[in-house]
Amino acid sequence: MNTKGVIVALWNQIYPNADNKLLDDFFKELEVYSRAANESNPYWYKDAVVYSLYVDLFNKDFNGLIEKLDYIRSLGVNTLWLLPILDSPMRDGGFDIRNYDKIRHELLGLPENHTKQEQEEVFGRFLQEAHSRELRVIFDVALNHISETHPWFRQAITSEDNPYREYFIWSKDTSLYKDARIIFKGMETSNWEKLGGWYFFHRFFNFQPDLNYRNPKVLIDMLRNFLYWQQLGVDGFRADAIPYVWKEEGTNCENLPQTHLILKIFRAVLDHVRPGTLLLAEACQKPNKVVEYMGDGDECHAAYHFPLMPMFFKAIASQQAAPITQILDTEVTPVIPDNAQWFTFLRCHDELSLELVYVSEADRKYIHDNYCLQPEWDFRQGEGISARLANLFQFDERKIGLAYSMMLTLPGTPVIYYGDEFGKENDQHYYNEMIKLAGKDDTRFLVRGKINWPLREAQLNDPSTFQYRVFHRIQKMLEIRSQTGVFGRGSIDFIAIQTGESGANQALLAYERSLGKQRIVVLQNLSAKPQLAMLNEYGQTGIDLLQDKILDLQEIVMKPYAYHWIKID
């Protein structure tokens, strides 16, 4: 079936009673978009190393970011994930979008009333500079909700007869969708917000009304927004908050079948215009649910492995390999389509221990007890922790390096959160500023904050500093990773390191990654004590790629929190 046939079939499943003229008119629009030549590497996201940043917090604006592209590239990164850049009142860090086809003027260095042409010149120059350095660019688009200041919502509240009224969900009965949980527990008390004699539905903050995808015009308008940026040269999109897109009475309004049909349409349209444009799922769900967002290779190209992230922290706190091996067992993390990919990370702009990512509440409590080291780090009444990687590990560069070793060598595409490469700490000043703007005590602002580049550059040039040591640990690992495709594409086999009659040493996390003739054994000591490892089945010696030296595989004495990447001939 051709692309048009696929879209029509999906459309008819979602909107069996819709006026097909709406879709026919959209197909005519689609013809004006120039179709790019086939992507030479359509699975480029499997070889990516992603760097996630806020443009303004990183270095003021896009011109400032251009100045730092060489720094980012030198780190070993080949993809930029720009955290929210679209026009927004910034009450939710930019996820409250006011205009989908407009970038915040301060990021462009332009006046607020800038023209589309001016925007395209500035942003186009940034894309050109990034692409010339072989850096791909993706950014966030929230599919589920918008800002109350968006023109659609401003129109909707003018009268009950306004056509934009049906872009949102209204009711006088707040018992509707009563099974939909409150996501921002502790900050919101209801999913309904009163406005006049009506209530509008929202899953996140009360200033973020949910879009009504039962109205097919909403889907068409959102597709137009994606096409605009794709045509300018953006390499992909992080689809934010997608599990909540469709609402159905009598359900929890998450992961519903219609949501997947909508995503399939997004994918088909993007593939039609430029194959290889990444659609990345942000679905804070357990693995068996997240996998569904990759469909049969026809929904999102990739998804975050949210459940793996907290297990890095549990493994180090417990000094046990089991949290990693268990979460990656196929009974917990199902096999994904061949053309799909997991994205992995240690920290991000959100809290540690994101809502539904745990296999058990005991895991959540364990991590909270071990890592919520300050009362002000508590987020969502004990469900999350707002702290940077360096703070969580109490500035122990060995633990930071160990965590990165795991993330960079386990299956998936790794994401580095800006500043973590040199151990950026929590930003109390930025947090204090932002809670005044947002009007909500959102402690996630602690893990954001600006980079003071004169200070950081001085630290990165001084071998005696913590920042220098962390940076060079991570840079070395990224250098080795970039020289092989085995970590992004290869198979994995876990290795039990035997310690005599007592069985496998649970403090050692070991696995073989292989791709074709490439074989690399990753050996990691999760313990605060030295450990002895023996890899007798791999011969006498192997090359430690990180230290560029030969190891005796019959007897490897590992220091606390040490790790080796061993090339096997």
Domain annotation covers residue 108? no
What pLDDT was estimated at residue 353? Answer: 67
Q: What's the chain's Rg over C-alpha atoms?
A: 24
Q: Give 184-200 pLDDT, tens digit per residue.
A: 877 899 999 999 999 99
- Helix 397-409, helix 466-482: angle, nearest 10: 20
Residue type, 124: G
Please tell me whether residues 466 and 551 are part of one structural domain: no
Of the residues 282, 363, 420, 427, only one is catalytic, namely 282
Domain annotation covers residue 524? yes
Please tell me whether residues 315 and 409 are part of one structural domain: yes
What pLDDT was estimated at residue 39? Answer: 66
Please tell me whether residues 356 and 496 are part of one structural domain: no
Query: How far is 41 from 230, CA to CA, in rounded Å?
Result: 17
What pLDDT was estimated at residue 535? Answer: 93
- Helix 466-482, helix 453-460: angle, nearest 10: 80
Residue 483: which H helix or E strand, with range? Answer: none
Q: Which of 438, 462, 482 is the last residue of a domain?
A: 482
What pLDDT was estimated at residue 59? Answer: 98
Q: Give 238-292 pLDDT, tens digit per residue.
A: 999 999 999 999 999 999 999 999 999 999 999 999 999 999 999 988 888 899 9
The yes-or-no answer on residue 61 being catalytic is no
What pLDDT was estimated at residue 34? Answer: 65
Domain annotation covers residue 503? yes
What pLDDT was estimated at residue 35? Answer: 67
Position 439 confidence tier, pLDDT thresholds 50, 70, 90: confident
Please tell me whether residues 477 and 494 are part of one structural domain: no
Query: How far is 337 from 291, CA to CA, in rounded Å?
Result: 9
Q: Which of 482, 513, 548 is the last residue of a domain?
A: 482
**How many residues comprise the chain?**
569
The CATH number for 432's domain is 3.20.20.80
Of the residues 240, 299, 351, 397, only one is catalytic, namely 240
Q: Give 25-42 pLDDT, tens digit per residue.
A: 999 999 888 666 566 788
Domain annotation covers residue 476? yes
Position 80 confidence tier, pLDDT thresholds 50, 70, 90: very high
What pLDDT was estimated at residue 504? Answer: 87
Mean pLDDT of the chain: 94
pTM metric for this prediction: 0.95
Domain annotation covers residue 375? yes
Q: Give 297-317 pLDDT, tens digit per residue.
A: 999 999 999 889 999 999 999
Please tell me whether residues 445 and 334 are part of one structural domain: yes
Query: How far is 427 from 446, CA to CA, in rounded Å?
Result: 5
Domain annotation covers residue 86? no
CA angle centred on 488, ends 470 and 318, rounded to 5°: 55
The yes-or-no answer on residue 493 being catalytic is no
Domain annotation covers residue 222? no
The CATH number for 545's domain is 2.60.40.1180
Average pLDDT of span 217-240: 96
What pLDDT was estimated at residue 382? Answer: 64
Domain annotation covers residue 54? no
Whether 511 has a pLDDT exceeding 70, the answer reads yes
Give the residue numbers spanning the domain of 336: 299-482
What pLDDT was estimated at residue 185? Answer: 79
Whether 111 has a pLDDT exceeding 60, the answer reads yes
- Quick one: how many helices (H) and strands (E) in the chain? 20, 23
Please tell me whether residues 420 and 463 are part of one structural domain: yes
> 36-50, 157-171, 289-303: which has the minimum mean pLDDT?
36-50
What pLDDT was estimated at residue 354? Answer: 54
What pLDDT was estimated at residue 390? Answer: 98
